[in-house]
Amino acid sequence: MRIGIVAPAKLLDRAVAAEVQAFAAISFPSVELVIHPQCFLSDGHFAGPDSARAAAFLDYANDPAIDAIWFARGGYGSNRILSAVMPALTDAAANKTYLGYSDMGFLLGALYARRIGRPVHGPLVMDMARSGGDAAVARALGWLVKRDKAGLEASIAAQPVAAFNLAILTTLIGTPWLPDLTDHILMIEDVSEPLYRIDRMLFQLAQATQLKGVAGIRLGRIADVQPNDPPWGEPLEVMITRWARDLGVPYLGAADIGHDAQNKLVPFGMVV
């Protein structure tokens, strides 16, 4: 199996790339990780200019010899290439799994909106750098190589699911790149935000007409919460319950997803 690695947002650290390749060679010897040279480009914040990041994604997405796309890391930037890459995808792109989270939610959402391939919210290549990152990488490769269900978010059941970073999801609202999530259980997570911003994004989610068909909401980890001044006094459970009620759907409890090495896999549209 050949898994292509591209970086539609920020660049991939070479040392981490080498560590992941070494891990895969030992633990998944049938896999060839094909890292696009674009992953190591630098153009200010980005892994190369928009044109280079778009070209790299299309190189591998449209290559029939690449079986899956594993995104290198998040950050910011994949939204800037959507209008260039989405119309240029070929039939070969429809046969692939696309794995990542955080900023990669822009691409996962746009792919799912057009039912292209199999988008999955799950570990990135760069997660190898986290504490316990080898388990996250094993979870990712286990799904890509043999559809190992041990790495799936445990609540996936009889209704289709989707998962997003909350900031990415709210940015997608009102755009043509937000998929139809009617009858889906929607899982959300976020990182490095003060709670008033989380509350504001939940307000936008709750009022979005594009999301009125959602069947329920689960809350992943809201990590590295930034301080409020004055301190925020409302618990997350109260916030999410209130905004789910405004959306007209039940709050179904926690989801085991987040910006950490414990981040479980959520294949878009999957039912068990």
The strand order across the sheet containing 2-6 reads 32-35, 2-6, 68-71, 97-100, 118-121, 266-267
The rounded Cα 86 to chain-centroid distance in angstroms is: 17
204: left (phi over 0), alpha (psi -120 to 50) or beta: alpha
Neighbouring-strand partners of residue 189: 165
Q: What is the pLDDT, as a whole number, of residue 269?
A: 97
* DSSP strand pairing (68-71 vs 2-6): parallel
pLDDT (tens place) for every residue of the chain, 272 residues total:
999 999 999 999 999 999 999 999 999 999 999 999 999 999 999 999 999 999 999 999 999 999 999 999 999 999 999 999 999 999 999 999 999 999 999 999 999 999 999 999 999 999 999 999 999 999 999 999 999 999 999 999 999 999 999 999 999 999 999 999 999 999 999 999 999 999 999 999 999 999 999 999 999 999 999 999 999 999 999 999 999 999 999 999 999 999 999 999 999 999 98
Q: What is the pLDDT, as a whole number, of residue 103?
A: 98
